[in-house]
Amino acid sequence: MNDGGERRFGPLGKALVIIPTYNEAENIEPIVARVRAAVPEADILVADDNSPDGTGKIVDEMAEDDPQIQVLHRKGKEGLGAAYLAGFHWGIEHGYGVLVEMDADGSHQPEELPRLLTALKGADLVLGSRWMPGGRVVNWPKSRELLSRGGSTYSRLLLGVPIRDVTGGFRAFRKETLEELGLDEVTSQGYCFQVDLARRAVEAGCHVVEVPITFVEREIGDSKMSKDIVVEALWRVTAWGVGSRAGRLLGRQPS
């Protein structure tokens, strides 16, 4: 793939919105309803990690009444990255041309999905960005904002990726883009999973576009953010950055 300067992008194909869930029983019905209203032509895949609160059963009942809703029942809680990877593979196998990442907790606004999909007509990957002009966060404590901004800045500088919000999780991929990224080699999770896919896309020469979004802190349920997720991200990003710089010095290709 090249930098997109003179490239002609093909038609997008049908979109699949992938929503990973673990104990999102109170959030899942309203968020699915909002997605269906915002992009009625898109299908939805809820990848549920065997939620003890019955999230998967709720979506099963919704799917009985709406053929555009699907459920991927997973054996247990394996993390955000594993859920998205399973969703990507499912979507590619079922012929979808666009695969979208979106949280179940309402932090990503479904009403902004059309903007991401419009931008994808001229890109390989579109990222919803909190940290570009026009982007913002709502109801976050300053400490959380500093952590997120700092994580994106650290990743951008260390990895050399020209992306303002490299840790964000509201994204739209072309199927062909995902097929270029070596998904079978991805083992990272959480924040780190998003950084991993972004750096792989840049290294593959994909044309990556950011569009501003409003990120709203969840009102119901518990955040999945943890100290372990932050530590994993810091460790992996540092290892990737050091490895990439060493590789360039030795004349090797990024891995």
Q: Is residue 232 part of a domain?
A: yes
Q: Find the mean pLDDT for residues 237-248.
A: 66
Tell me what pLDDT residue 222 has.
64
Q: What CATH number is associated with residue 149? A: 3.90.550.10
Average pLDDT for the chain: 89
Task: Return the structure tokens found at 212.
Answer: 């501003």
SS3 of residue 241 by DSSP: helix
> Between helices 142-159 and 227-250, what is the axis angle to 10°?
20
Per-residue confidence (pLDDT) for residue 192, from 0 to 100: 86
Task: Please tell me the total count of domains within the chain.
Answer: 1
Confirm whether 238 is domain-assigned: yes
Query: Residue 96: inside a domain, yes or no?
Result: yes
Q: Is residue 9 part of a domain?
A: no
Is residue 3 very low, low, confident or very high in pLDDT (cuts 50, 70, 90)?
A: very low
Give the mean model confidence (pLDDT) for residues 18-31.
Answer: 97
- Can you tell me whether residue 135 is helix, strand or coil? coil
pTM: 0.87
Check the CA dihedral 138-230-32-183 and report its sign: positive
- Residue in this structure with the two tokens 């109170």, named with its chain if needed: 26
pLDDT class of 252 with cuts at 50, 70, 90: low
Instruction: Categorize the per-residue pLDDT at 17 as very low, low, confident or very high, splitting at 50, 70 and 90.
Output: very high
Q: Which domain holds residue 63?
A: 15-248
21 found inside a domain: yes
CA–CA gap between residue 167 and residue 126 (Å, rounded): 13
Alpha carbon distance 31, 37 (integer Å): 10
Q: Is residue 1 part of a domain?
A: no
Q: State the pLDDT confidence band at 52, using cuts at 50, 70 and 90.
A: very high
**pLDDT, mean of residues 97-106:** 96
- Whether 229 maps to a domain, the answer reads yes
**Would you state the pLDDT for residue 1?**
41
The string of pLDDT tens digits covering residues 168-201 is 999 999 999 999 999 999 988 767 899 999 999 9
Q: What is the pLDDT of residue 84?
A: 97
- pLDDT tens-place string over residues 114-137: 999 999 999 999 999 999 999 999
Secondary-structure percent of the chain, ordered helix, strand, coil, rounded to 5: 45, 15, 40
